Structure 1
């Protein structure tokens, strides 16, 4: 299925008949009214009578367009007086054509925004149409541009998150990858909204797209290269006044950065064609605050990077083996993201402003690393990979744990640990971790579940546990269920036998990710707060029958969403179709009618039907 606003595009997508084009009709007045009042008041019955006359006229001007109604409802929800509603009604004027009418309504929502949100929203013109924008990177770029200004001591990332969710709540951006807690980790911009933002951006010379040649006659303030540009044009670009440069295509060419004295943001993530020589002169970018080279072929940074005294955020590619010692001179560096195979400078303790560091393997670092780590007293978030080698003794591990305890006494709030354990690493089995309130996530990639049980049970705020390999048994699941704070639990390896989830554990669990093997059963009262159930079903490992999927799903009282991934290898299409029917019936029969989201993989490896 394809969607488009262009009828000619729809027809061209049809292989034979124009009858395959389905034209979506606007909502009826009754459905429009139901949508508006539900979003503002929870239902029409809660709407004050003095607002209903204005709402009728407003809905008529929205023309049955869901996006217009959603945006308008967000506008009205903060102005629940007759005077304010009449103001909105008077400003929504009639316009010929759905597109121009919609844009007029959306433009009202833009101009009603607080000033601090307008620049944040306009910044989304830096991303291609339908692009999934990661919240984390977006917020960091907002910070580097100076769009987020907090009070003394205020966490700018947390403030940026509130800006992001405010735009979501106003229906100006579409949330993507929404978690069980209702929080989205990324977003998209509706194409009509993006068209409007590009028009507004052009009017203010906020950002430039090479597809719009009119912009290039003016001073470039922000530039995105989206993959359809002529390389000859790129060579001639003057980006000496640009504050942001983003690249969204595989490329071997960048505009000259020799005179980019005011560049704050350089995002090259995902551009595999870029190599070390492309960042050879990066030390000249004296105002640079944000640098992202993750997903490139850049595996070495020049020593001059230590000259970037304003650099706040640095993403490097996981393939980078060593960071130059000069990185330790970056006194303002706040966020550093490296690969598990990256060696940090010996004197990282000099980076006194560092607040977030991930994902490091402490056992690849110098012998002074534990002591240097303990000097980062402003560190708030830390991600480590506990993957030891035979040359690492217990003394080093004890010093490392001691530094983690020290950091928690200062500002460390989130510690995420990934374990890669072997038989010879007895430190975790015998001593475990001390009781750390900052531990939020534990992943076991290699090793036995029982090896981390002591460590796992000692942390008061553990929220997310993932068992990625090995074998687990019923008693292991029961041990995990005894963690009272656990909100997410994932089980991906094989299991020794059927697993039964009783009513005794997992009282706060909200998301359960599970690889189907040879049996699962939820008893009455099991996982009372579970909202999301994610199943991976390798059909080739099962003796498939409809009865094997009668596993007590009706006992999950809070279930809202079921995600299913079906591995189709070595099975027939008819068996897959039968399983899909069973899963649909199961969801329909559940009292909550949870949303069922299914996808199939490895379809090319299915057996032919006889």
Structure 2
């Protein structure tokens, strides 16, 4: 292995370093003599660092452990053996329990020595058995995914809903909310590792620590919950398998799917699986998730009429080419995801799915004209209007329960199709406007993302006093519009706004400011640099958590008290235009007192080295006063 690795690493004296990690000492010790490498054996945390980590998790990163609990805390930490995962897991468990000696002694007596493998398992199991019944099922479901796999939160929650792991809720929106609460609970208990925490405090995705995954897989086997097949070496299997996850393309493994077709409830395929099973007698299957798999000869879904209980079907990023007309007979289907696969059109029979709640397609896919019959539909994305008929666009206004809608009116998504010549763009937009107005009258639409042809007036027609949008919480305008519509002041409930403008003046900024009382996320993309810097002061933007600004010149200035709750700032700005227009890079970043992260991308085209150095130095000096001893809030400054 090491020889193969060394062969692709150039020896060019650039003083680069490559760091690899492994839990197996024999892998490290077998390194190539040519590598001149050094093995660094990670030591366990010492007593002081263990205590600091333990106390920060339980006492909100502030106080120390009370004297009354100090002795028992030391005894618990001794059992953790300085292993960070064990400390974090136990501390997260104790943080949710009464802070009494009796409770902490009970926890201590339940755990073994984490330095031993069985002791670590016992320590982690304690957190598992502290979960509610539904949450245990959700936690065990992670055994479906491969090691180090990035698991998308939305995908995970929708699978939980289809599996029936979320009980006590009837409406889909409430089940999604509860599923997100479950996800956050597992994060808060440090059972899963969050990835890309967003402005609302929820992570976009997660991973599972490899030791934790070993525990989950082991518990799943004991409970006969989820069976994971990595290859023929995993055989033989239990006589009845209800949840099955395949990570191997071996014929013997694929045969397990067929053998269990009558009682398997959930089937998940992960690359390199390249075979589609014949869907015959799969009456019990509720989840079929093959995201990312590339299949061989058979790229069409066949015999789908037998999937009478299927609720979740994910074909995203596969090379599946066609959905048969029998898809209309899968009457309990709630989620259909065909994003970024090779399906060009969906059959008319799709409209028979009266329980379908979410339909995810790629731009360019043709959908059936009678989509208005799908009265359960709550989320539809991402639809290219010009690839569909006027009847389809009109029928969109009949989707009375639609909450999330992503739509694109750009001509570029025609992909050579003949349904809509260029001159019909305005006709399609007129019909879309009428449909959107109908949807807003139903007062269910909460999220709208729209991308129009340049010069389109649809946004201004939509944002008028006679068409109130009180329920809208998320608005994304991806195409460039001339100015901020004045009527956007009425959008008092919007928490997420992305807008692309030709230019922005003081009035435009004030319109956004006036609608900002509940705004948490704001992204502004400017085509033309303002003549004078626009001032952001203490008025407005009181709740804003994340702000992204893109412009060839940094045309904003933050003064004392601006954006008091802003935690994340991302800038994509040009050096030359900023210097020539405003004479410097001091735009008041030091006045954003709550910042926790700053990301900067500098366009250095036509800029002199002294200007680039000055820009970097000014940004760093503005961030430095709030630099934390543990980590810097300023990420790498990217120069392009």
TM-score of the alignment, normalized to the shorter chain, above 0.5: yes
Q: 1:496 to 1:371 in 2, by over 3 A?
A: closer
Instruction: Tell me which residue corresponds to 2:242.
Output: 221
Instruction: Tell me which residue corresponds to 1:160.
Output: 179
Question: Residue 101 in 1 paired to residue 119 in 2?
Answer: yes
Shift in Å at residue 577 of structure 1?
8.7
Question: Residue 564 in 1 paired to residue 600 in 2?
Answer: yes
SS of structure 2 residue aligned to 1:291: strand
Q: 1:299 to 1:549 in 2, by over 3 A?
A: farther
| Aligned residue among 619, 624, 628 for 1:588 | 624
Q: Distance in 2 between matches of 1:428 and 1:292?
A: 33
Shift in Å at residue 305 of structure 1?
0.3
Counterparts of residues 117-516 of structure 1 (less than 5 Å)? 117-153=135-171, 155-211=174-230, 213-214=233-234, 216-218=236-238, 219-226=240-247, 229-239=248-258, 240=261, 241-249=263-271, 252-273=274-295, 277-318=299-340, 320-362=343-385, 364-369=387-392, 372-385=395-408, 387=410, 390-391=423-424, 392-393=426-427, 396-397=431-432, 399-408=434-443, 412-423=444-455, 425-430=456-461, 432-433=463-464, 434-450=467-483, 453-454=485-486, 456-468=488-500, 470-472=502-504, 476-484=508-516, 485-497=518-530, 499-503=533-537, 504-515=539-550
Q: Distance in 1 between matches of 2:61 and 2:565?
A: 26
Shift in Å at residue 559 of structure 1?
1.2
Instruction: Tell me which residue corresponds to 1:606.
Output: none
Q: Distance in 1 between matches of 2:477 and 2:293?
A: 31
Q: 1:63 to 1:325 in 2, by over 3 A?
A: same
Shift in Å at residue 404 of structure 1?
1.4
Shift in Å at residue 163 of structure 1?
0.8
- For these two proteins, the number of residue pairs brought into alignment is 594
1:551-602 residue CA offsets vs partner (Å, 9 max, x unmatched): 2111012211112345688999999899767655543223778622227477
Instruction: Tell me which residue corresponds to 1:605.
Output: none
Q: Distance in 1 between matches of 2:61 and 2:567?
A: 24
Q: Distance in 1 between matches of 2:71 and 2:63?
A: 14
1:354-390 residue CA offsets vs partner (Å, 9 max, x unmatched): 2322233456544444664444333333333355864
Q: Distance in 2 between matches of 1:496 and 1:579?
A: 17
Q: 1:466 to 1:135 in 2, by over 3 A?
A: same
Q: 1:413 to 1:528 in 2, by over 3 A?
A: same
Q: 1:518 to 1:572 in 2, by over 3 A?
A: closer
Which runs of no fewer than 5 residues in structure 1 stay unpaired?
603-610
Which runs of no fewer than 5 residues in structure 2 stay unpaired?
1-18, 412-421
Q: Distance in 2 between matches of 1:430 and 1:489?
A: 22
1:121-159 residue CA offsets vs partner (Å, 9 max, x unmatched): 111111111111111010000111111112344711111
Instruction: Tell me which residue corresponds to 2:77.
Output: 59
Contact 2:289-2:314 within 8 A present in 1 as well: yes
Contact 2:200-2:520 within 8 A present in 1 as well: no
Q: 1:76 to 1:516 in 2, by over 3 A?
A: same
SS of structure 2 residue aligned to 1:327: helix
SS of structure 2 residue aligned to 1:35: helix
Shift in Å at residue 174 of structure 1?
0.7
Shift in Å at residue 110 of structure 1?
1.0
SS of structure 1 residue aligned to 2:299: helix
Q: Distance in 2 between matches of 1:11 and 1:534?
A: 43
